[in-house]
Amino acid sequence: MAAIEPVQFAASILSADFCRLGEQVEEALKAGIRLIHVDVMDGLFVPNLSMGPNIVKALQPLKNKYGAQIHAHLMIIDPDRYITNFVQAGADGIIVHIEACPHLLQTIRNIRSLGARTGVALNPATPLIMLEEILAEVDFTLIMSVEPGFGGQEFIQTSLDKIARLHKLLFHHHLEHVKIAVDGGIHLPIAASIVKAGAHTLVVGSEIFNSRASVSKNFQALCTEFINSR
C-alpha cells in the first residue's frame, strides 16, 4: 500500500448545473478547490457531446480571481486538432487519451511546446503497459475508474489495483514526480482507499455538484469524511 501524500480535489463541471455554472464553479473555488476539470466529448470517441474551448475561456475570470487552474480532458478522436484552441482559451493542462493518439509522443510534446501541463488518460480496459514508454514525458496520468462519457457511474473496484500498480511502476522508474489522478465514481466511502493506493488527485463531479446540498457543504462533507477515513 502506498504512503498517503497530500491530495488534491478537482471539480468536474460535467455534473454541474449549467444554468448556474459560474455560480457553482465560484462556490467550489470559495470552498478551497483549485483545479477545475473540463470534460470534452465529441460523440465519437465517447457516446456523448459536451463542452468546447468557449467554456474554458468563460471560466478564465474565476480561475484568475482564485488562483486556480483548468485542465481540459479531451475525450475526442484526433485531439491534436484542438489542443492549440484549448490552450489559447486558457487551459493550464491538457489530458489526452492514449487510445485516441496514434502518435502519442508527438502529441505530448505539442502540448508541452504550448506551455501547458501534459496528462495521459487510460480507459478501464487499457493495460498499464501502454503507458510505460511515455511516462517520462508527462506531468501526470489519469486513471479512468468508469467508462468515459457520462457522469454518475459507479466506481470500478479493480481500479484500485491498477492505481497501486502504476504507483509502483513510477517508483521503479524513479518517476515519483509524475502524479496520478483518478476520474470516475469517486464518492465518500472510496476516496481514502484511492489515495492509499497511490493517487494524488481525485476528480469529483456528482459528489459535489448535486441537489442534496450546496457545493460548499458537499465538498466540506467530502473533505471531512476523507480526513476521518485516513
Question: The CATH number of the domain where 141 resides is what?
Answer: 3.20.20.70
Q: Is residue 94 part of a domain?
A: yes
According to the model, what pLDDT value does residue 230 have?
61
Q: Is residue 5 part of a domain?
A: no
Q: Is residue 4 part of a domain?
A: no
Backbone dihedral angles phi then psi of residue 182, each to the nearest 5 degrees: -130, 135
Hey, which residues are catalytic here? 39, 183
What 3-state DSSP class applies to 14? helix
Q: Is residue 98 part of a domain?
A: yes
Q: Is residue 151 part of a domain?
A: yes
Q: Is residue 6 part of a domain?
A: no
Q: Is residue 101 part of a domain?
A: yes
The parent domain of residue 223 ranges over 11-229
Say which residues have a Cβ less than 8 Å from residue 224's Cβ, sequence separation at least 6. none
Count structural domains, the chain.
1
Residue 222 pLDDT grade (very low, low, confident, very high; cuts 50, 70, 90): confident
Residue in the structure block whose three cell numbers are 470559495: 30
What 3-state DSSP class applies to 154? coil
- pLDDT at position 225 over 80: no
Q: Is residue 3 part of a domain?
A: no
Report the chain's mean pLDDT, rounded to a whole number: 93
